[in-house]
Amino acid sequence: MLDLTLALWQTGHAPTTAEALQRLDATAARARAQGADLLIAPEMGLTGYAIGAERVAALAEPRDGPLAQAVAAIAQRHGIAIAYGYPEQNPAGRPFNAAQVIAPDGARLMNYRKTHLFGDLDRTQFSAGDAASQAFTWRGWCLGLLICYDVEFPEAVRGLALQGADAVLVPTANMEGFDEVQHLLVPARACENGLYVAYANACGSEGPTRYGGLSLVANARGEPMATAGRHETLLVVALSKSHLVSARRHSQLPHRRPALYRPLTLKE
């Protein structure tokens, strides 16, 4: 069973997309040299996150736009898959806070729009996606993609687990003051669903907004395999299918009783 090696890039947001792409190129080369198959960058990592609605709208692009083409070229140059965040154009309103995964051959594997918007910062800049994340398969691994606040909702990760996800990739820009997400919620989501969760956070600041770092990968028993501090770093972690087999021997998923939970989905 083939392992999958992830690189989580904890970094600050660059002031321009050109500089962000240059830094992504250098980091992709470094991650690949350390054996990584897939690099995860933070939420809105190519454009900046706390930059205001007008700036977000000006930088928004379609999923196959120039930013996607530039990332595809980087992925092909270094032979590594890349998960990255960007603002996706929305003809019907504010842009979507989106993340996309591009394969080492430049193919677009998955595009996802953040469905749970956090606070005024998100709501004034973005429209919420209206479709649950769909799992996708790459290199024999079933993978899911969520963005930041999404992972704090048990239903979002459970939905991917029920699709057979082995790992959930989470580009994020979680701020200081919310460390319970990394310390408690991410490990819980991994444990309760019998999968890996890779949470790649931003660090540093954009104006008054300060990001909390503490990126991590939690295994299917909820154990942190690797954790970052507050500053820029690159975590490289190998995921193992054999670990999933062992951890899932006592999974709660086969014992679910969905009919009992259905009323919960009807409550607003």
Exactly one of 19, 61, 142, 148 is catalytic; name it: 148
DSSP state of 140: T
The whole-angstrom separation of Cα 119 and Cα 9 is 25
Question: Could you tell me if 235 and 41 are in contact, meaning their C-beta atoms sit under 8 angstroms apart?
Answer: no
Question: Three-state secondary structure along 173-242?
Answer: CCECCCCHHHHHHHHHHHHHHCCEEEEECEEEEECCEEEECCCEEECCCCCEEEECCCCCEEEEEEECHH
Give the span between the Cα atoms of 69 and 112, in whole angstroms.
17
Nearest to 40 by CA among 78, 5, 2: 5
Which one from 61, 88, 114, 191 is the annotated catalytic residue?
114
Contact 139, 103 (CB under 8 A): no
54 among known catalytic residues: no
Whether 142 is a known active-site residue: answer no
- 201-211 residues labelled b (16+ CB within 10 A) or e (exposed): bbbeebeebbb
Residues recognised as catalytic: 43, 114, 148
